[in-house]
Chain A
Amino acid sequence: MDKKFPTVEIDMTTCKGCAMCIENCPPKVLKFSTEFNTLGYQYAHYTGSGCTGCEACFYACPEPGAVKVIKEVKIKQKTTAGASA
């Protein structure tokens, strides 16, 4: 694994296997698992590398909490005036 972030976590217990995330993932790093979850669906999972943090899977997923995208962003250096306001 080259980099820790960005990454995507798919909650296998709430995924309903619609594949909207898999279809919409630009770098194609999401795949179907070979197993079924407790809801009875073949869930999606992250292959482990190549996530760009674009969030396309997050917005394509119809489940409120199944997809989580984690990334590292730069903190913009604010000017002292108004920074704390």
Chain B
Amino acid sequence: MEQTKIVTKSKPTGFYENFDRKVGKDKKTTHYCPGCSHGIVQKLVAEAMVDLGIQDRTIFISPVGCSVFSYYYLDAGNIQAPHGRAPAVATGAARARPDSIVISYQGDGDLAAIGTSEILHAANRGENMTVIFVNNAIYGMTGGQMAPTTLVSQKTLTSPAGRLVENDGFPIRMAEIISSLGAPTYVERTACTDSKNIMRTRKAIRKGLQLQIDKKGFSFIEILSACPTNWKMTPKDSVQWIKENLEPYFKLGVLKDISDTREARSRSQPIFDPATVFGVLGLKKEEKQAVRTSKFAGERRLKIAGFGGQGALTAGALIAEAGMNEGLHTSWIPSYGPEMRGGTANCSVIISDKRVGTPIVTTSDVLIAMNGPSLDAFENDVVKNGLIIVNSSMISRKVARTDVRVVYVPLTEIASELGLKAMANSVAVGVFLQHEKILERKTVCDVLTTSLKKQSALELNFKAIDAGMTFKEGQKKGITQ
């Protein structure tokens, strides 16, 4: 007599047993609407991960869209990417972890609209990854707006009279576009409609993952999917609608498959060794961790502004980094025009003994104005009793306000006198160090030692800082020699 055993086909172990991160009492079901194809596709992915033995090295990249919470469900490595950027995030993950299996899972709003550039370039590079493109011809999460894949004359929230070619162009066939590129290995379009097509989808997903395991490059699986809620149909009618409307325009089948001739290519090994990385960047790495050496308590908000090229941004970065090395919390954000020279530039710096919230400085405790327009722009934003350092070499007028402390320093002249006009910013840092006793001269100089690109000018910059620190008003020049 033949021996038999009982087998059970149930929830794949690629899913978590309980969806603990999901909000609400129900930890067993997904948040997807009844009849949504996301559930079907993700079940196929979960099953394939287990069957192919890759679950412990799979990185699943969730997009923005209805499937944004895929990491609630899939028991794999998970990253949630900014809108449309899943292929870029997947590229990073794949390159940082060459043995991982990365799945970029995206909807049509994500992949074919905001993320068009990311997907095209990831495909064109032939990244060894598997892209699963769930195309339901509509924006689901946001409530049913027109997508790039919305059919002509299809009614959506934002095309109430139907998509108009004159207005909105034709639906984009992403699989065709991807298959026209040289690098992709395998491109197929399937549908989540009936059993036959669901099994084709299953096969396509498994093939895409197997190709990645075999290091054969980029695979792209577009899956025509149902969105009963936003299509305002029953799940049954949605399936019929896919067959009658989506399939004639988005033809099913394999659009490209060069997997037989494509040679396996290993991803290059990443380098994480700090010494090598710092070497490539031309930096010197010091193996030390910042400890709080500063006794400063409170917060200082700085605005440093000038012409592009005057070094306002660099001065800010120098102060922020020195603060960091003294164990304080700092932030630095630049704001500048497109010009490399001659435009206006400013940066906001915050130094604090507590964690910094927003790095944006609207009212400042200290303003360093390197040129006239900067003083005009930010003079009124300085707090009462705040400090304004005015580059009197370039600003002839006086500060109009009387409730602030003002230091007039010919920054540019002092720097020129020392031999390098571009060091006006270092002089300004010196003045700042002298008048706001927050940071030590030594830490600032230490930062310069490791960060200054032109190392031959290091000693000169130290002199410039000293000149700023010893400058006294009324003195014509800041040099104390």
List chain A positions with a Cβ less than 8 A from chain B: 5, 13-14, 16-20, 23-24, 26, 39, 41, 55-56, 58-75, 77
Contact = CB atoms under 8 A, between A and B. Distances in A.
Contacts of A74: 2-4
Nearest to A11: B28
B6 A62 contact: no
Which of the listed residues A14, A23, A55, A69 has the most CB atoms from chain B within 10 Å of its own CB? A23
A65 B15 contact: yes
Interface in B24-40: 26, 28-30, 32-40
Contacts of A64: 11-12, 15, 29-30, 39, 42-43, 46, 73
B44 interface: yes
Contacts of A73: 4-5, 7
B198 interface: yes
B36 A62 contact: yes
B385 to A, nearest CB: 62
B7 A75 contact: no
Nearest to B235: A18
B202 A59 contact: yes
B9 A68 contact: yes
A77 B5 CA distance: 12
A59 B195 contact: yes
A49 B96 CA distance: 53
Contacts of A65: 10-11, 15, 28
Contacts, number: 107
B195 A24 contact: yes
Contact of A62 (B7, B15, B40): B40
Contacts of A60: 40, 194-195, 198
Contact of A24 (B4, B33, B194): B194
Nearest 5 pairs of A and B residues by beta carbon:
A62-B39, A65-B11, A18-B35, A18-B34, A16-B34
Given A20-B239, A59-B43, A64-B11, 10 more contacts: A18-B35, A19-B235, A20-B35, A55-B9, A59-B198, A60-B40, A62-B36, A62-B38, A65-B10, A70-B8
A56 to B, nearest CB: 4
Tell me the interface secondary structure of chain A in the complex.
Answer: loop
Contacts of B46: 64
A13 B3 contact: no
Most chain B beta-carbon neighbours within 10 Å: one of A24, A63, A71: A63
A56 B195 contact: yes
24 contacts: A14-B29, A19-B236, A20-B35, A20-B235, A20-B239, A23-B239, A59-B195, A59-B199, A59-B202, A62-B32, A62-B35, A62-B36, A62-B37, A62-B43, A64-B29, A65-B10, A65-B11, A65-B15, A68-B11, A69-B9, A69-B10, A70-B9, A72-B6, A72-B7
A69 to B, nearest CB: 4
Given A18-B235, A63-B30, A63-B39, A72 B5 contact: yes
A24 B193 CA distance: 9
A56 B4 CA distance: 22
